[in-house]
Amino acid sequence: MATNSQKSDGRVRLASIGVGMIGHVHAKIAAGLNECEYVAICDTDPDQERMAQGYGVRFYTDYKEMIKKETLDGVIVSLPNELHEPVGTACAEAGLHIFMEKPITSTIAEADKLINSTQRNNVHLLIAHHRRFNPMVVATRKMIRSGELGDLVGVSILWCMYKPSEYFVAGPWRRQKGGGPILINTIHEIDNLRFFYGEIERVYAEVSNKTRRFEVEDTVSISLRFTDGTLASILMSDAAPSLWGYECTMGENPHFYPTKGNIYHFLGTKASLTFPGMTKVYYADPSKAGWQHPITREQLNIKSADPYPDQLKHFCKVINGEETPRTSGEDARKTLIATLAVHESGMTGKPIQIDYT
Amino acid sequence: MTSNESPVRIGIIGAGLIGHRHIQHVVEEPRCILSGVVTRTLKAKELVENAGATHYTEIDTFLKESDAEAVIIATPNDTHASIGIQCTRAGLHMLVEKPIDSDLKAAAGLIEAAEKAGVKLLIGHHRRFNPYIEAAKKILDEEKLGQIAAVNVLWTVLKPPSYFNVTWRREPGGGPILINLIHDMDNLRYLFGDIERIYAESSSAIRGFVVEDTAVITIRFRSGVLGCITTSDAVASPYNFESATAENPLIYSIAPDCYRIFGTKATLNFPEMTLWRYTGEGEQGWGDPISNERIGVVRTVPLVNQLRHFCDVIRHNTSPRCSGEEGLKTLEATMGVIESMHNGAPVMFKKAH
């Protein structure tokens, strides 16, 4: 087990590796969280030292130096995808619990390597599929799994937004292989589907880059089958100005202009649910159920909330052995496998039967 | 001789649910005259007699004796082509109810026969005359959405158990794809053009009939537009074209979500008919305010619009909004959905016939 440091007050000692856009979100929360003692920040960009000073923590540009010098329980890793495995493995070898940005890694082989090293070193690995901490997502999952909608028959998902050109200027890799919206954005929808309902068995995708003409796709249409035969579809485009995108409708991140639009339709034998509108529709009298009868609309009072603080608190509890990771390495690996299958189907024009072994 | 303005003399073959509605519209429309109705048992006897039209029980007698110059064929699907071919021999122009036929080869035979006989052929995909579809088509043609990237379709309803008392509705061909989704397929083809490839996953798990109750469909149009359809007739849901447009008086309407069309400049929420786009200065994107404009639509009756168009096709040589070829392609695409769901592989469509 990792060397427990100053655990007398139950506060775990954390540091960040990488404080870019999302890394900064975690850093800000960690600096103000009672459950942890935030001690250091590492980033290869020396200008980030100011951020460390602002939070009153020590600053490093070399993470290896940081994990050697600091007494830590866990690390928050927010780095480019291809660095997840090598940095994660090094931290596991040092006996540190890991809170890793999603996706777990960029390839399955890397995911296996990282998971193995965390198991070998007996440290926890939590992957930051942060949507699983939004109370609206959690409540929806509960409704679906409790049978409140009857049998879930189908799910329709929309993720259509317009990425401004500065997005591609700031990150030229986003125009190139591996940087497309399937691996960056659709992975969230795949993880949501798995969290809401269950395991995905088969996927088919059509992809297009005709709008932006980049190497990567800009528009994707996906048909998807769960192991029990329930069906889902996902339509996504990052080249279309629209209301219907998770980030814009959920208000988790102030960077996105807030819109109102139902991005998910959950279709059940007893009732259907729009998300995040949270309108449940059903036939109030089962003897008068059918398309010729009036349908009842019920507005549920379930609100969205910032998932990031709860996610980090959860990491602290995982380190203390009070909770098990909501998204383990194995779980996130399955999300990655299904997401890569979408990409493969788009490239080959064939349906892909998913093999999780 | 008939002048360009003289009323079109129309016969109607088949007087079932839809045939009866045609009788009513033809009687009411000043631009045409009901000359005869062919059906075994005529329920609307008074209506037909008052219009001065003749009731026939046999098609042959009608073809021999009637002064009709055009017909509306509203018989069971698998008889459309054979009856249509009979009518071409009598030199009659035709409005054939959708689908063009239930068989692709038979349908192709009808197209050929109509061409040879030099008669007009219009297929009754009446949603092309739905005012919301007409408005959407205009918005797309005016390029208000910019370049189209994608379209999402929901057709989800709960058919009551009594619907399935009829055996053929539980069997292959009687499911929501060929009966219902064919309308949406024609809408999509009308708005976005020919389809290049189609893939479908289906399930019959809820009712356990041979026929599907649920499907998700991925479409690639030849233009590169991508489509995504979720359909089921086994869910408690009002998200479908009929509910959304209140087109069918038999289906309860609450005007909810149905189609969304995504373009580089704007998105159209259909049939709410709101255009969403950025109106700010300079480069815009997901962090910027997005605003909407509502497009007004005047409600009209699609079948009446279609009938007037049929008169124009005959009297003014207007080209049919849904030609035989178009009707055939919609049938082909819809059958492609069924083929894909059975074979588990995408179905490719050849370029032009």
What is the domain partition of chain A in residue ranges? 12-129+309-326, 135-304+337-353
The amino acid sitting at B279 is T
Q: What is the pLDDT of residue A68?
A: 97
- Partners of A274 on chain B (C-beta within 8 Å) are 257
Between CA A211 and CA B264 the distance in angstroms is 8
Percent of chain A's residues with pLDDT above 90: 83
Pick the CATH number of A12-129+309-326 from 3.40.50.720, 3.40.1360.10, 3.40.630.30, 3.30.70.360: 3.40.50.720
| B71 contacts B87 by C-beta, under 8 angstroms | yes
Residue A22 has pLDDT above 50, yes or no: yes
Where do the domains of chain B lie, and which CATH numbers do they carry? 8-119 (3.40.50.720), 128-300+332-348 (3.30.360.10)
Q: Do B206 and A295 touch (CB under 8 A)?
A: no
Q: What is the mean pLDDT of residues B82-95?
A: 98
Considering only CB atoms, B262 lies closest to which of A237, A289, A350, namely: A237
Q: What is the pLDDT of residue A314?
A: 98
| Confidence band for A3, pLDDT divided at 50, 70 and 90 | very low
Beta bridge pairs of residue A203: A224, A352
| Confidence band for B215, pLDDT divided at 50, 70 and 90 | very high
| Confidence band for B5, pLDDT divided at 50, 70 and 90 | confident
Could you please state the CATH topology (level 3) that the domain comprising A135-304+337-353 is classified under.
Dihydrodipicolinate Reductase; domain 2 (3.30.360)
Q: Is A293 exposed, middle or buried (0-12, 13-18, 19+ CB in 10 A)?
A: middle
Q: What is the pLDDT of residue A345?
A: 97
Considering only CB atoms, A242 lies closest to which of B154, B267, B289, namely: B267
Between CA B280 and CA B195 the distance in angstroms is 35
Between CA B193 and CA B64 the distance in angstroms is 40
Q: What is the mean pLDDT of residues B211-216?
A: 94
| B74 contacts B126 by C-beta, under 8 angstroms | no
Q: What is the pLDDT of residue A10?
A: 80
Q: What is the pLDDT of residue A1?
A: 40
Q: Would you state the structure tokens that stand for residue B325, as one six-digit string?
A: 């070829």
Q: Do A231 and B216 touch (CB under 8 A)?
A: yes
Residue B246 has pLDDT above 80, yes or no: no
Residue A37 has pLDDT above 70, yes or no: yes
Dump pLDDT digits (tens) for B147-196: 999 999 999 999 998 888 888 888 877 788 998 999 999 999 999 999 99
B113-141 burial, b at 16+ Cβ within 10 Å, e below that, comes to: bbeebebbbbbbbbbbbbbbbbbbbebbe
Helices B324-343 & B104-117, crossing angle to 10 degrees? 170
Dump pLDDT digits (tens) for A324-346: 999 999 999 999 999 999 999 99
Q: What is the mean pLDDT of residues B76-92?
A: 96
- Partners of B228 on chain A (C-beta within 8 Å) are 156, 221-223, 233-235
Q: What is the mean pLDDT of residues B224-235?
A: 96
| ω into B238 cis (within 30 of 0) | no
Dump pLDDT digits (tens) for B262-308: 999 999 999 989 999 999 888 889 989 999 899 989 989 999 999 99
Q: What is the pLDDT of residue B210?
A: 87
Q: Would you state the structure tokens that stand for residue B323, as one six-digit string?
A: 């030609």
Q: What is the pLDDT of residue A229?
A: 95
Please check whether residue A200 touches B, CB under 8 A.
no
| Average pLDDT of chain A, as a whole number | 94
Q: What is the pLDDT of residue B281?
A: 86
Between CA A259 and CA B225 the distance in angstroms is 25
Report phi then psi at A190, rounded to 5: -65, -45
Q: What is the DSSP string of B305-344?
A: HHHHHHHHHHHH-PPPSS-HHHHHHHHHHHHHHHHHHHHT
How crowded is residue B302: how many other Cβ atoms within 10 Å of its Cβ? 20
Q: Is A16 exposed, middle or buried (0-12, 13-18, 19+ CB in 10 A)?
A: buried
Between CA A322 and CA A317 the distance in angstroms is 5
Q: What is the mean pLDDT of residues A82-98?
A: 97
| Average pLDDT of chain B, as a whole number | 93
Residue B256 has pLDDT above 70, yes or no: no
Q: What is the pLDDT of residue A162?
A: 93
- Partners of B336 on chain A (C-beta within 8 Å) are none
CA distances from A158 to A262, A276, A291, B259 (A): 8, 12, 25, 12
Between CA A62 and CA A45 the distance in angstroms is 10
Please check whether residue B259 touches A, CB under 8 A.
no
Please check whether residue A235 touches B, CB under 8 A.
yes
Provide CB contacts within 8 A for A142, sequence distance 6+: none
| B118 contacts B236 by C-beta, under 8 angstroms | no
Residue A30 has pLDDT above 60, yes or no: yes
**Distance (Å) from the alpha carbon of A352 to chain B's nearest alpha carbon:** 10
- Partners of B254 on chain A (C-beta within 8 Å) are 295, 297
Q: What is the mean pLDDT of residues A209-223?
A: 92
Please check whether residue B287 touches A, CB under 8 A.
yes
Rounded to 5°, the CA angle A340-A78-A251 comes to 80
Q: Do A228 and B150 touch (CB under 8 A)?
A: no
Considering only CB atoms, A289 lies closest to which of B217, B228, B236, namely: B236
Q: What is the pLDDT of residue A256?
A: 87
- ipTM over 0.85? The verdict is yes
Between CA B344 and CA B200 the distance in angstroms is 8
**Distance (Å) from the alpha carbon of B307 to chain A's nearest alpha carbon:** 27
Please report the number of interchain residue pairs, chain A to chain B, with beta-carbon separation below 8 angstroms: 236
Residue B81 has pLDDT above 80, yes or no: yes
Q: What is the pLDDT of residue B58?
A: 96
The size of chain B, in residues, is 353
Q: What is the pLDDT of residue A207?
A: 97
Q: Chain centroid to CA B317: how far?
A: 22
- Partners of B235 on chain A (C-beta within 8 Å) are 153-154, 267-269, 272
- Closest chain B CA to residue A249: B286
Q: What is the pLDDT of residue B250?
A: 61
- Closest chain B CA to residue A220: B226
Q: Do B285 and A210 touch (CB under 8 A)?
A: no
Dump pLDDT digits (tens) for A223-255: 999 999 999 999 999 999 998 999 999 988 778
